[in-house]
Chain A
C-alpha cells in the first residue's frame, strides 16, 4: 500500500476500477484543461507559496490537535484528540479546498464561479474566497437544505453570492450537484466549477484530496510531537469523503494506524432511508464517477436521508470505494439519533459544538470505545462547527428547557 495514494489515480482517473469521467462530451475539454493547469501549478513555486500564505493568514492554519480531556474521562476508554478543522475560517475543512481551487480559477482566467452545497459549508467557503478574490459566485442549494441550514444561506448572501434554490428530486445535495453540472455544461467556457468533495469526474477527486491532505500532514507532525508516534486510530465522517481522505491520505502507508470512515445511517440501515453507499450500496455511476452508490434494481438513484445535510448524498468518492474493497479503511455507520446524542454530549463535555456531520464520527467512537485500549491515542477529524445546525437541533427538540 506504500505511497499508493500518491500514484492514484491512474492516467484515466481511475482508483482501481472506480472513478473515471462519465460526463457529457461538452465538459471533457474543461476537465482536460483543469487537469493540465493543476499539474502545472502544483509544482509552481509561486502558486505554492501563495496557497501557503492564504492557508496561514486567511484560513488560520495550522489547526490545533486538541486533547479532549473530559470526553476521554467520560468514556473511560482511549485518549481522544480532536483535529480542530472547526477553527478554520468559515468553520469547516471545506475552505482548504476552495482556497486551492480559487487560485486555479484565477490562473485559468475564469471569473465566474459556481458551486454546489449541502450543509452550506462548501457554499460558504466558496462564497468567501470569491469575495476575497473579487469573483462572481453562484451556489446551487436544494430548498430542503436552505431551510435546515438557514444561517449559512444568509452568510453566503451577505458575502455577495447568489444562492440558487434547487427544487428537483429530493431538493438536497444530489440535486444541487446535478444543477451545478448543468450550469457548467452550459457556461463551460467562462465558468470554473468549484466542486466541494472528493467526488465527480476526474480530476476532481484527486484535486480535492490533494488540497485537503494538509489536514493529515499537520496531524502527523502534531502526533509525532505529542505522542512520538502516529496516532493508533483516526476517525472521520464520510459524506463525499473529503475531510476523511484529507486526514487519511498521509497515513495510508502506515498500516498500524487504523482508519475509520463513518457514513450516515439516517433512520437505520434497514429502514431504506439512509446515506450509506459503502455499507448498503453497489458500484454505479452518478455525477461523473463510477463508485459505490445507493440505487434500486432498475438503476434509479434512491433518495438518501440523513439529518446532516452534508452527509445526505447517495454516492461517495471513488477513492473510498477502492479503500473499502482493499480493506485499508474500515467503514461504519451512525444513525440520526446517535449523531444527535453525540452532538449534545460533546457540546456539554468539551465546550465545542460540533457539526452534525462531525457528530457522526464522534458517535461512532462513543459507541465503539471498547474496540480500543485505554492508552491508545485516537484522533477524530473535527471537520466543522455546529452553529449552522441550530435550526435542525431546535426542531429535534434539543433546545427545549
Chain B
C-alpha cells in the first residue's frame, strides 16, 4: 500500500484520473524525464513508467517501437530506478512501474522491489504476471509498501475479477478491449457494459487503458472508469514530432485536452 497513491485517491473528489504512460529511455533518458514533468504540469494524477523489454507480448507497434529505442539507448532496470529517484526530486505524484517479468527475474525480484521502493516508486503493473503466478511478488511488494496493480480484461469472469480486486492494492487496471496496447478500435456498447459491470463488482477504483486516443474515447470510458491510461497515443505524438521541444508541446497539448474533457 503506497501512501502517495492512497492520499491521491482520497483527495481526488469527483475528478477523473489522468494517467499518462512513458517508456523510460524513449526518445532518450533525459527527454523521457522532461516528458513526465510536462505531463505532471498538465495535471497528470499518476504516471506510468515503462520498463523496456526485448519481447513485449502485450504491446502493440508504438510501445514495441519505444521499447526498442530505449533498449538501444542502453536503458536497464537500473536506469528506470534512476529515473524514479531523479523525478522524485521535483514531483510528488505516484509513479507506477510497468514492465515484464524477465528483467525482474534477472535483477532478482527481492532486490528489485527493495530498490524500487527506495528510489521512490509507488507501485507496479506487470502484464505477463497474472494473479495466479504472483504470490511471492505480491508478498515482497507488500513488505516494501509498494502497490501491486493487476489487470482485468473483458474476458475475466466474475470470480477472477473479484480475485484480481482482492490482490490489487489501491486500484485495478482495466484493459478496455481484448488486444494489445494501442489497438485502435472504437469503444462501443460492449465496452460500456463491461466497464459498468466492473464498477458494480470491484470494491476499489479502477483506471481503463489500451487504445485511449482522443478526448471522446476518454470521456466515454470515464463514464464508468475512475480514470484513463494513455500510452501508445503519446508515443505516436513523440514519434511524429520533429524536435524534442515539439514532442513536449504536443504531448502537453494533448494531455491538456484530455484533462479538460474528463
Contacts and interface: CB of A to CB of B under 8 A. Distances in A.
Interface of A: 12, 20-30, 168-169, 174-175, 178, 181-182, 185-189, 283-288, 293, 295-301
Contact of A295 (B102, B133, B153): B102
A300 B54 contact: yes
Given A186-B183, A299-B77, A24 B128 contact: yes
Interface in B121-146: 127-130, 132-133
Contacts of A21: 130, 132-133
A169 B132 contact: no
Nearest to B154: A26
A365 B150 CA distance: 49
B152 A25 contact: yes
B155 A30 contact: yes
A169 B64 CA distance: 10
A27 B155 CA distance: 8
B14 interface: no
Interface stretch (B15-23, B172-180, B226-234, B251-259): B172-180
8 smallest A-B Cβ distances: which pairs? A299-B106, A299-B103, A26-B153, A186-B179, A300-B54, A285-B101, A298-B76, A25-B153
Given A299-B104, A300-B71, A301-B102, A25 B151 contact: yes
Nearest to A179: B57
B171 interface: no
A24 B54 contact: no
Interface residues of B, number: 40
A287 B57 CA distance: 8
Contacts of A30: 155
B26 interface: no
A288 to B, nearest CB: 7
Given A178-B55, A298-B107, 19 more contacts: A23-B57, A23-B128, A24-B58, A25-B150, A25-B155, A25-B160, A26-B175, A27-B155, A28-B130, A28-B155, A29-B157, A29-B160, A168-B64, A186-B183, A284-B105, A298-B106, A299-B107, A300-B71, A301-B102
A187 B106 CA distance: 32
Contacts of B104: 299
A29 B155 contact: yes
B92 interface: no
A23, A27, A185, most chain B CB atoms within 10 A: A185
Nearest to A300: B54
Contacts of A284: 102, 105-106
B57 A301 contact: no
Contacts of A285: 100-102, 105, 128
A42 B152 CA distance: 31
6 contacts: A21-B133, A26-B179, A28-B156, A186-B183, A286-B55, A299-B102
Contacts of B54: 169, 300-301
Given A24-B130, A29-B155, A298-B77, A185 B105 contact: no
